[in-house]
Chain A
Amino acid sequence: MSSITNLADHQLLSGNHAVAWGARLARPQVIPVYPITPQSPIMEKLGDFHAAGEIDAEVLTPESEHSAMAAAIAASLAGARVFTATASQGILLMHELLHYAAGGRAPIVMCNVNRTVASPWAFWPDATDSLSQRDTGWIQLYSETPQESLDSTIQAFRVAETVSLPTMVCHDAFYVSHAMEPVALPDQALVDGYLPAYDPEHFVEPGRGESFGYVIDQATFNRTRRDLDEAMARVPETLEEADTAWRELTGRSYGVIERYRLDDADTAIVTMGSMAGTARVAVDEMRAAGERVGLLKVRLFRPFPVAHVRTALAGIGRAVVLDRNYSPGLGGMLHQELKAALFGLNGSTPAVHGLLAGVGGVNVTPEKIRQFVGDTTDREPQPQSLWVE
Chain B
Amino acid sequence: MQKIDLVDRDLFNPGHAACPGCQESLALRAILNTIGPDAAAVFPPSCGAVICGPHPYSSLQIPVFQTSLESAAAAASGLRRALNQRGKHDTTVVCFAGDGGTYDIGFQALSSAVERNENILYVCFDNEGYMNTGAQKSSSTPLHASTASTPGGKPSKKKDIIGILAAHGIPYVATAATGHMNDLIAKVEKSLTIEGTRFLAVLVPCLDGWGLPDDSGVSVSRLAVDSGMWPLYEVEQGHRYTLNHDNKTRPVADYLSLQKRYRHLDETQLAEVQAAVDQDWAQLRRRAAESTEARASG
* Chain A residues near B (Cβ < 8 Å): 29-30, 32, 57-58, 60-64, 66-68, 70-80, 82, 96-97, 100, 204-217, 220
Contact = CB atoms under 8 A, between A and B. Distances in A.
B268 interface: no
A66 B52 CA distance: 24
A78 B67 contact: no
Contact of A211 (B38, B58, B77): B58
B297 interface: no
A71 B112 CA distance: 12
Interface string B84-102: 1110100100000000000
Contact of B91 (A96, A206, A211): A206
B21 to A, nearest CB: 22
A206 B39 contact: yes
A80 B77 contact: no
A212 B78 CA distance: 15
A341 B113 CA distance: 45
Given A32-B81, A77-B65, A77-B79, 16 more contacts: A30-B78, A30-B81, A58-B84, A60-B77, A60-B81, A61-B116, A74-B65, A75-B81, A78-B83, A79-B82, A100-B68, A204-B63, A204-B82, A205-B40, A206-B40, A211-B58
A213 B40 contact: no
Contacts of A209: 58, 61, 63
Contacts of A216: 53-55
A207 B76 CA distance: 18
Closest 4 CB pairs of A and B: A71-B78, A70-B71, A213-B66, A67-B74
A109 to B, nearest CB: 15
Given A63-B111, A66-B109, A78 B68 contact: no
B74 A70 contact: yes
A268 B66 CA distance: 47
A73 B67 CA distance: 9
B26 interface: no
Contacts of A206: 37-40, 62-63, 88, 91
A188 B42 CA distance: 35
Interface of B: 37-40, 42, 49-50, 52-55, 58, 60-68, 70-71, 73-79, 81-86, 88, 91, 108-109, 111-113, 115-116
Contacts of B91: 206
B65 A204 contact: yes
A80 B63 CA distance: 16
- Most A CB contacts (10 A, CB to CB) among B60, B66, B75, B79 go to B75
A66 B70 CA distance: 9
B83 A62 contact: no
A30 B75 CA distance: 12
- Most A CB contacts (10 A, CB to CB) among B37, B38, B40, B116 go to B40
A208 to B, nearest CB: 6
B74 A79 contact: no
A211 B78 contact: no
B81 A58 contact: yes
- Most B CB contacts (10 A, CB to CB) among A77, A210, A214, A216 go to A214
A290 B67 CA distance: 58
Contacts of B58: 209, 211, 214
A224 to B, nearest CB: 10
A215 B71 contact: no
A176 to B, nearest CB: 29
A216 B54 CA distance: 6
A14 to B, nearest CB: 28
A67 B71 contact: yes
A217 B53 CA distance: 11
Contacts of A217: 54
A78 B109 contact: no
- Most B CB contacts (10 A, CB to CB) among A62, A209, A217 go to A62
A32 B37 CA distance: 28
Contacts of A72: 78
A43 B192 CA distance: 34
A129 to B, nearest CB: 20
Contacts of A60: 77-78, 81, 116
B75 A71 contact: yes
Nearest to A224: B55
Contacts of B53: 214-216
A58 B78 CA distance: 9
A70 B81 contact: no
26 contacts: A30-B78, A32-B81, A60-B81, A61-B116, A64-B112, A66-B109, A67-B109, A70-B67, A70-B75, A71-B75, A74-B67, A74-B79, A76-B82, A77-B65, A78-B86, A82-B82, A204-B65, A204-B79, A208-B63, A209-B63, A211-B66, A212-B65, A213-B64, A214-B58, A215-B50, A216-B54
B296 to A, nearest CB: 39
A64 B108 contact: yes
Given A78-B86, A206-B38, A214 B78 contact: no
B227 to A, nearest CB: 36
Nearest to A208: B63
A66 B77 CA distance: 13
- Most A CB contacts (10 A, CB to CB) among B40, B60, B79, B81 go to B81
B64 A214 contact: yes
A388 B49 CA distance: 52
A71 B37 CA distance: 23
B85 A58 contact: yes
A215 B49 contact: yes
Nearest to B52: A214
Contacts of B85: 29-30, 57-58, 80
A72 B113 CA distance: 14
A211 to B, nearest CB: 4
Contacts of B66: 211-214
Contacts of B116: 60-62
Nearest to A100: B68
Contact of A75 (B49, B60, B79): B79
Contacts of A71: 74-75, 77-78, 81
B78 A215 contact: no
Contacts of A97: 68, 71
A278 to B, nearest CB: 39
